[in-house]
Structure 1
């Protein structure tokens, strides 16, 4: 449902009153409340009416903290606010002019053919019977689910219809002022006072003044990650959100292993504003190591933040980012990861320099030897079933338990960083003077896809019209539900006796405009294109790796006495630097994105299968660390030396298998930057 609000002024108003945009930013000084707290000033304010409910109207205010909706009905008042942090974008639209060939009255014309809306930035022809300008505001609200303690983000579309003037350009000018102010506030930029003034009539300057990222995103997509639906997932789940936020991109589909690594290493990546890896943890591993194979790696890691869309089986980093920012990841991982991209927030992240006998690489997630590494690699044959492959193979390895002989050395942390507060980062900036109910628009293919992601279905504007025409009285119980102000069938419009009332609300339900309007600015590169990258990029042994030099002794050198050594038989040795190894694997609860710590878990031979089963069952909640025989040690560096004559197992780095043999790792705090919500 898209809540539809309409710009309204009294019919007796003159030109000064018609503009009636209350711009109080001229009074930019803060007002002091009685308790000494600072109030946010109002940037724009307007009253919108609803004709389907008598004596009901909304006072809509745009402040420096969000969009306030004050509903007044029969003397009762209720206010809700959409926090600025929850708004990802807004767009101006108009009803497109229909040609004779697409006349709605011609035989065979269907409703769906009328749902045409186009972006108005370039003055597209409009329907002469509807001079309204529509402002669509897209937000994703943090909501509490019915289950106690559970939260989710839900999509809300607020539509403001400006129709006070007889000319479309005049209505567009008013809508564009709101759009400019919202975009400036979302981007944390000053709102231009001169352009907000009702006396400023230059529409072109309003349209061109909106802030936005000039460069596109580079999207590298692995079509075979996880169950193999990466392309479909991106187009139907991620592109719509990028479109709403007007984040344009160039997408390249990977063609073979290490394609992304070669692309990042050889291309002019500074033409993009960031790199978005769509797939599992493997494609991000390729991107990171491609960056460190560039002589200008320092500039690359500084200027290009990394984003990840979880389409793989593990998706450990995506979950770790959401966990660090207290975002409800599990109900809808795609949504939270997409919001990380469009909100343009950046957070430093630790990287680990890995050295083996044949190569040097950089890791962002984990190093494994033994039990969990065996499960990760050997379950590849079950990739088609997705993340469940780990569960199935865990049972197999538990039955056929293996141990490995070798030596583990580590440099313990001298001092652990202070734990971050458990207080939600979102709550610090959240406006808690109200909760806005969530809604979804009609005919939205994306919403149907997200239905299983805890997003509720709702009625459309047209459904509401149909129900009202059948005798259902809308608005009889406006305040029965204390948790909702905007109902599922809210529709507001200006009462204009001199104008023919044409049902132009199809514009609010356009799938094309809402979800694909930014597509023309983005480019899609198919797998058949020749982009100059070599067709054989799998051999990584002879690559030149740049990046910061190691501070620890070389892999072949003797370790100093400050290192602690453990010899014997091991069931597993696993090092992690993020909280989660997979969406449901809460491996290192005390880890942070950039704490400068490697969390080294050691399970020695002799642990019972019962304790090991308890360990596996506790991985989802973090209680595995309480199991007997399990040690978690915070370290700065470590070395694994498997016995040459012992059983041959698997060594993994970020889920990718490396040569079985000596391996050394060292942490580099805050070396890279990731996109976060």
Structure 2
């Protein structure tokens, strides 16, 4: 029986309606194999014990379990279960659970199986950007995320941002021991502010060793949730977050002359993608379609974005990327605390000569650049896997480069396939992995975007900072992408 069908029928269970036992993956209701009467909405219906079919509630769907006061009868202990049913609504039922003599109480056993990574014991700080998601972020959190967090009995405090950069200031002054997880109920701008707020602290090393950073997708761009939790639906992401595994991921150090170094968790871009994002901010009321219109406009115009690019390659060819990905995917390294050395930039300053072991990208291509896009997470938006070979902590940055001279039909073909990662197969798309790169724009004026934020239009150098940040990953891995 499907999860939703099973859970919907469980809505009618009463305190004395069924006996159950603990299975490997679910609480199993075992009774004679007959159809379960349909419940009456709005009341609890009692059924005869012989009328139940075999049903189950997956541990993955259980938010809470609590033993009820026992009486003097010899029936099995009664447990009130709180779980997620169809349409991600929260439901409750009471079951008599069969347990082994001398074992822990049934509720304790259920919670241990429902929360293998003990996320329900963590203390959460939720930072909401009320302006995110076209001004709908707070409503999304209150209506779709908050009920699940409350049902899971998680300790949650909420702060709403009031200005750009507020999340950076919040995290910079936050008492270190007060929280375990910083949850960004927002788009991708707040996670960017949070990691940079952590880095600005005097005790930044302790902050990165203590705090886990996650996203509940309540904004316009929700790449972090798409990549880490496998969904951009706020309710589904909340459930995934509660069940997720903590894991260290790479960040990127971004350097520009005259600017303090910044951290980037997601991406850097110059060219068609950057212009289509930053230059269409005035169309934000249109939602995601504004970006599509921006890309179409730039591609039809065959806009060129001349620059110079030098790369410290880890894998220069797609064959090398595929082999690297196959070897490293599925690795689950130990969670080892970081030190200040992990945040030190290894390569010469952005104004210094390019190191000799870096490769200069073909000047014929960079003089006619269409897209430069680099990133650490596979999804840059809902259903857009621009970096299908990205891995959480492989010590590399994925890079995509295209030439504006490509025929319109070819450009349109590979851009329409980024949702499936199919652009990887086009010879016109250069896909590589790098330890670092330097990009120097040769236009008088345009835009450079880092994590979706507008950065100074000048040369930038980026290098990977391996495993410095903790986040929450569904099943301990990035969301699935295409096979390479």
**d(CA) in 2 for partners of 1:668 and 1:421?**
17
Which of 65, 69, 73 does residue 90 from structure 1 map onto? 65
Partner of 1:387: 288
Which of 94, 97, 106 does residue 178 from structure 1 map onto? 106
SS in 1 for 2:454: strand
1:399 positional shift: 2.8
Is 1:339 paired with 2:239?
yes
1:155 positional shift: 5.3
**d(CA) in 1 for partners of 2:129 and 2:119?**
28
1:363 positional shift: 0.7
1:154 positional shift: 5.3
Partner of 2:313: 412
SS in 2 for 1:353: strand
Does structure 2 retain, via aligned residues, the 8 Å contact 1:90–1:245?
no
Question: Could you tell me the TM-score, scaled by structure 1's length?
Answer: 0.57
Seen in structure 2, the aligned counterparts of structure 1 residues 187 and 610 have a Cα distance that, compared at 3 Å, is: closer
Give the stretch that moved more between structures: 663-672 or 212-221.
212-221
Partner of 1:622: 421
Seen in structure 2, the aligned counterparts of structure 1 residues 5 and 282 have a Cα distance that, compared at 3 Å, is: same
User: For residues 526-541 of structure 1, what are the structure 2 equivalents within 5 Å?
Assistant: none
Seen in structure 2, the aligned counterparts of structure 1 residues 631 and 314 have a Cα distance that, compared at 3 Å, is: same
Is 1:288 paired with 2:195?
yes
Partner of 1:430: none
Which of 91, 97, 101 does residue 157 from structure 1 map onto? 91
Which of 243, 253, 256 does residue 353 from structure 1 map onto? 253
**d(CA) in 2 for partners of 1:61 and 1:421?**
39
Does structure 2 retain, via aligned residues, the 8 Å contact 1:4–1:161?
no
Seen in structure 2, the aligned counterparts of structure 1 residues 6 and 226 have a Cα distance that, compared at 3 Å, is: closer
Seen in structure 2, the aligned counterparts of structure 1 residues 368 and 248 have a Cα distance that, compared at 3 Å, is: same
Is 1:560 paired with 2:355?
yes
1:387 positional shift: 1.4
User: For residues 69-468 of structure 1, what are the structure 2 equivalents within 5 Å?
Assistant: 69-73=29-33, 79-91=54-66, 135-139=80-84, 157-160=91-94, 177-188=105-116, 216-323=123-230, 329=231, 333-343=233-243, 345-357=245-257, 358-413=259-314, 417-419=324-326
Does structure 2 retain, via aligned residues, the 8 Å contact 1:611–1:628?
no
Which of 600, 603, 606 does residue 405 from structure 2 map onto? 606
**d(CA) in 1 for partners of 2:203 and 2:78?**
48
**d(CA) in 2 for partners of 1:594 and 1:342?**
22
SS in 2 for 1:288: helix
Is 1:662 paired with 2:434?
no
1:157 positional shift: 3.5
**d(CA) in 1 for partners of 2:226 and 2:435?**
23
SS in 1 for 2:132: coil
Partner of 1:527: none
Which protein has the larger Cα radius of gyration, Structure 1 or Structure 2?
1
Does structure 2 retain, via aligned residues, the 8 Å contact 1:215–1:271?
no
Does structure 2 retain, via aligned residues, the 8 Å contact 1:419–1:590?
no
**d(CA) in 1 for partners of 2:20 and 2:79?**
15
1:82 positional shift: 3.0
SS in 2 for 1:618: coil
1:578 positional shift: 1.1
SS in 2 for 1:633: strand
**d(CA) in 2 for partners of 1:418 and 1:370?**
27
Runs of 5+ unmatched residues, structure 1: 9-48, 50-57, 94-119, 121-131, 142-152, 163-175, 190-210, 324-328, 426-544
**d(CA) in 1 for partners of 2:327 and 2:216?**
25
1:587 positional shift: 0.2
SS in 2 for 1:384: helix
SS in 1 for 2:134: coil
Higher relative contact order (CA 8 A, sep 6+): 1
Q: Alpha-carbon deviations, 1:67-93, whole Å to 9, x = none?
A: 111131469995443332332223568
1:219 positional shift: 0.8
1:161 positional shift: 5.8
Is 1:550 paired with 2:345?
yes
Question: Could you tell me the TM-score, scaled by structure 2's length?
Answer: 0.79
**d(CA) in 2 for partners of 1:291 and 1:212?**
21
Does structure 1 retain, via aligned residues, the 8 Å contact 2:126–2:158?
yes
User: For residues 477-496 of structure 1, what are the structure 2 equivalents within 5 Å?
Assistant: none
Does structure 2 retain, via aligned residues, the 8 Å contact 1:365–1:654?
yes
Partner of 2:22: 62
User: For residues 570-589 of structure 1, what are the structure 2 equivalents within 5 Å?
Assistant: 570-589=369-388
Seen in structure 2, the aligned counterparts of structure 1 residues 4 and 639 have a Cα distance that, compared at 3 Å, is: same
Partner of 2:481: none
SS in 1 for 2:11: strand
**d(CA) in 2 for partners of 1:293 and 1:593?**
23
SS in 2 for 1:407: strand
